[in-house]
Structure 1
Amino acid sequence: MNPITNAVHAGLARGAIELRQTMTNGQDLFGLLFWPVIMVVVLIFMRNATFGSSGFMLGTLALPSILGMLISFNGIFGIAQLLSMEREDGTLLRAKATPNGMVGYLVGKVVTVSGWVLVPFVIVLVPGLFVVGDVALNTAGAWLSLIGIVLLGMLATLPIGASIGSLFANPRGVGFASMPIMGLVAVSGIFYPITSMPGWVQGIAQCFPIYWLGLGMRAAMLPDDAAAVELGGSWRHMETIAVLGIWAAGGFVLAPVLLRRMARRESGSSVAARREKAMQRAY
């Protein structure tokens, strides 16, 4: 077995261990489950509301959109937070010092964050199917479409998160970066159809993957006539695949460059300096 293969296997094992630790640690589990539970409560309150005169239930339209938001937000900020925290505490430096350690490290992070994406996804999906009506996941094709858009969404968002995480030396910087992302969530048709928003807002939202993930989820989960409330009255399948594919391709080109740059800058002195600053803030 060659060294790279060994590193990949070690990364897979490390990711599985970290994910198991998350599921058995009360504080981590609370952080993972808090927002999904809140989203289920939101769906309960929305289930009887309708969107204008369309006759479509607002909760039905919101469920797939919320699932798309969870994929994008957890995918981006899960790995960004991990990279920045482990850069600050020296974990990244230790990985860099190990032969092929960065390969195993990144594989492990992808496994861990994928779990952080999929667990909240299931927690919202399963009760959501009972809370709202008119969800069209009643064929194998619909489930395959759902799985496909989830995988494509993860491919589009994880590299973005890795790129963001490589730019900040501590988790506080990543926290500030979440503010514009939350703004994008607000204008991307997650909780209310984007057709009710001004044209210039629609244009901005369509430049980013959050809107397209929500649209792709709605296309997979809702009946065909629900496309009437979308832009152009269509699910725009090809555009969804193209935009998410472009974000995925761009991320996989940019993220390795930024991660290599970040790794080259890591040293014992830089880690010690960040620790000292962190301790000064604590006191």
Structure 2
Amino acid sequence: MGVRILSIALFFCLVGAGVEAQEIDKELLLNDIKTLSSDTFAGRKPGTQGHQRAMNYLTARFRALDLKDFRQGYLDTFEIEDRLKGYNVIGYIPGQRRETIVVSAHYDHLGERDGKRYLGADDNASGVSALLALAAYFSEHTPAYTLIFVAFDAEEMGLRGANAFVNNPPIPLEHILLNINMDMVSRSDRNELYACGTYHYPHLLPFINTDNPVVTLKTGHDEPGSGHQDWTTQSDHAAFHRVGIPFIYFGVEDHPDYHTPNDTYEHIQPDFFYNAVLTIRDIVERINRNADLLKTRNSAM
């Protein structure tokens, strides 16, 4: 697989010192994941009442964060299959530039099967809660790039929401410099968080380092020929990669509760989750502090 552990000092001189620590509201972060993975939302399968409740919850949170909308509301509707619609939840924070980073996480899960509920705490209430935490942070810290926050629908049904977004984007695709996707970020017995995508886009390596002692940040899981261990096409970032938009996918390796009824709030690791979100936030902040570098390197690809 060729996993590469990143040194804190990786390209340190190129991108400058790590950003100062800023608060992420841990209590709110944990409340979001607990709520989204509760029985009330019943596994968030598209077409169910639980999914509708999740969609309403996210639109209310976007509104409370005062995110801007593109199309007279946060919902963007698309067809999953005959008589079944999907709903991406989309908002944005204007930056100092029109160039844009899309921050994404899917909010759907598996619902009920054979009388059992698949509540999807790690997969992917964790990513959506992280997205909300990042949106809250950057609402208070104006980014260099415009940031679009998307809670994608129907990822579990074949990346339908992400593909719908790329096929009918709210802005020209050429304005999107990067996708940062989060899918399963709340637990790791080894305290390992992966940043996948640098095999394809090595110019992103300088941005990926951390001084967070709780999280071991790794790259990998993106090399062709590694079968299921290649995550390049296994979550919503694949839709962006398909059209040549670079991505960084943050996630953890599969655990025994993946896609089982045991993927519940009680099995997440709150300290790891919080520190994973801080790590991702620091990387997004670092990219914003080196905006010209990212734009220049993307242009040179």
Higher Cα Rg, which structure: 1
Give the TM-score of the pair, scaled to structure 2. Answer: 0.29
Give the TM-score of the pair, scaled to structure 1. Answer: 0.30
Determine which structure has the larger helix proportion and give its number.
1
